[in-house]
Chain A
Amino acid sequence: MKQQQFTIESNAAIAHQVYELRLSGDAGALATPGQFVNVQVGNAYLRRPLSVAKWDDRGMTLIYKVVGSGTDWLAQQPTGARLDILTGLGTGFDLKKARKHPLLVGGGVGLPPLYQLGIELIKMGCQPRLIMGFASERDVFYQKEFEQLMPVTLMTQDGSAGGKGLVTDASLQAQDSFLYACGPIPMLKALHALPLDGQFSLEERMGCGFGACMGCTIQTAKGPRRVCHEGPVFSKEDLLW
């Protein structure tokens, strides 16, 4: 974990209430896809945990949804504004488990961490594919970006884009070797029931985001674990679903 100042390069809506925030600064504390950052927003007391879509030597890209006054403040920040961010938080995905044909499944704003994950998996010689799910067409983002990396199956609940239904309505393929999933809890639970080993990235209300306050602890097969510290990524066998 590091506390760093970042400068906003761009901060633009890419779907309904969803923003892509490009930041320049030192993202070196991020080591594995699935780790997150905690951003100080306006007058809010607590920071906002946000997921990271990608990072490189120059900075990082966050994707967030406006859900309250804190993220609303963030959406109004102009290019050039500075943000105080705790970066490199949590434990990300274990890439060694991927094997040849990992299946990535993301729902809504659960998608961003799967982008950097895809980049890293391809670097390792894997051939990942993605199922992305949204409520409706207006919520869809990063379809093209993902399609440049891997085969993509798009699902929307109302059928306004891609296939109609939930991500679990898109069928598994025989070659799928390992599941990496991030999204709402009901989606993750449904995926957890599939006959495919995998890892799941959880989202919880957090206090500190770095393991000090015990505000986000869940019970796992290995005992109590903090979503912000030992997580947010948990292995299938550790989740008591």
Chain B
Amino acid sequence: MVNMKVNLLGISLDNPVLGASGCFGFGEEMAALYDLNLLGSFSFKGTTLHPRLGNPLPRIAETPSGMLNAIGLQNPGVHEVIATELPKMKGYFHKPVMANVSGFSVEEYVAVCSLLDQQDQVGWLEVNISCPNVKEGGMSFGTSPELAARVTRAVKAVCKKPIIIKLSPNVTDSALIARACEDEGADGFSLINTYVGMRIDLKTRRPVLANRTGGLSGPAVFPLALHLVRQVYKAVKVPIVGMGGIASAQDVLEMMLAGATAVQVGAASLVNPYACRDIIRDLPLVMEEYGITNISDIIGGMKD
């Protein structure tokens, strides 16, 4: 009998697998397929202060072993999330959920975080300072240590719940930015958001995506994500939620060995909607295969 439980910032998870923000909506579509309560948790769709339609279409382009997306933070706005989505969620998800927050100014991050911080269903706030698909705000906060620190300080001042800063891989030194946020009280980090990429339509000679560029995800980024998780793990003391191309129970173990306390599964759920369920089903068998009794024992345990 193996033990898949991990503790993420004071909240015990039945297993370390979370659905990733942006690939899970608010859970409703997935809940029609299987019982979401078998997940560790999930991070819901990036939420801003006001409703957002997102970017023009096409927003999706295929790549080798992955995909580009340029959704542009489509969401109904925090007031609608609180009024409609969270009450609906009570019907199908009974664990603490991770609230993913985006913004275009420090004030917006503060406003959205403080509202979601008051919701009983929310276990953690995942502050997305790394969306590559919006013009202002988004990733620009995550590529500057000073701005990242400022957002962290501002949201920490108004929130009681753990603040997890979602980091961008589109920087020279993720560890530098992580340390700047840790100094301001960040309780944890999640990484990676997507890598900026592009495809060109040979017929039209225009970018496939209307936004020109998009964020790369899927198995193509898994080794890159693993590397960055390791770098940040070595640079900070707080826990890490690892993500980027995870598609199997083996990937989960690799990500945890690199330093992740828990993981998020994103693009894999878009290809196989049962991906999280399948990974959680396979995890005990793969743990046994590698002689792992307590999954929390392997966090950061890669031999350098």
Task: Tell me the A residues contacting B by CB distance below 8 Å.
Answer: 1, 3, 40, 44-47, 86, 204-208, 210-219, 224, 229
Contacts and interface: CB of A to CB of B under 8 A. Distances in A.
A36 to B, nearest CB: 15
Given A45-B271, A213-B22, A207 B29 contact: no
Given A46-B62, A204-B57, A217-B53, A211 B25 contact: yes
Nearest to A211: B29
Contacts of A224: 53-54, 74
Given A1-B33, A46-B271, A212 B24 contact: yes
B245 to A, nearest CB: 11
B243 to A, nearest CB: 15
26 contacts: A40-B271, A45-B63, A45-B66, A45-B218, A46-B60, A46-B62, A46-B271, A47-B271, A205-B57, A205-B59, A205-B60, A206-B60, A207-B69, A212-B24, A212-B29, A212-B30, A212-B269, A212-B270, A213-B23, A214-B74, A215-B69, A216-B57, A216-B59, A217-B54, A224-B54, A229-B29
Contacts of A45: 62-67, 218-219, 267, 271
Given A45-B63, A45-B218, A229-B29, A213 B69 contact: yes
A210 B65 CA distance: 20
B17 interface: no
Contacts of B71: 213-215
A40 B67 CA distance: 15
A70 B81 CA distance: 37
A194 B54 CA distance: 30
Contact of A208 (B64, B65, B270): B270
A205 B25 contact: no
Nearest to B33: A1
Contacts of B58: 204-205
Contacts of A214: 22, 25, 45, 54, 59, 71, 74
B60 A213 contact: yes
Nearest to B220: A45
Contact of B273 (A44, A46, A212, A216): A212
B67 to A, nearest CB: 6
Contact of A1 (B32, B54, B59, B66): B32
Contacts of B270: 46, 207-208, 212-213
A184 to B, nearest CB: 15
Nearest to B274: A3
Given A207-B270, A211-B25, A212-B29, 7 more contacts: A45-B219, A45-B271, A208-B271, A208-B273, A214-B45, A214-B71, A216-B59
B12 interface: no
Given A1-B32, A45-B67, A204-B58, A86 B53 contact: no
Contacts of B293: none
A214 B25 CA distance: 8
B59 A215 contact: yes
Interface centre among B22, B30, B62 (most CB of A within 10 A): B62
Given A215-B59, A216-B60, A210 B22 contact: no
Interface in B24-71: 24-25, 29-30, 32-33, 45, 53-54, 57-67, 69, 71
A205 B61 CA distance: 8
Nearest to A224: B53
B3 interface: no
Contacts of B62: 44-46
B272 interface: yes
A70 to B, nearest CB: 8
A101 to B, nearest CB: 34
Contact of B74 (A46, A217, A229): A217
A215 to B, nearest CB: 4
A213 B57 CA distance: 13
Contacts of B60: 46, 205-207, 213, 215-216
B60 to A, nearest CB: 4
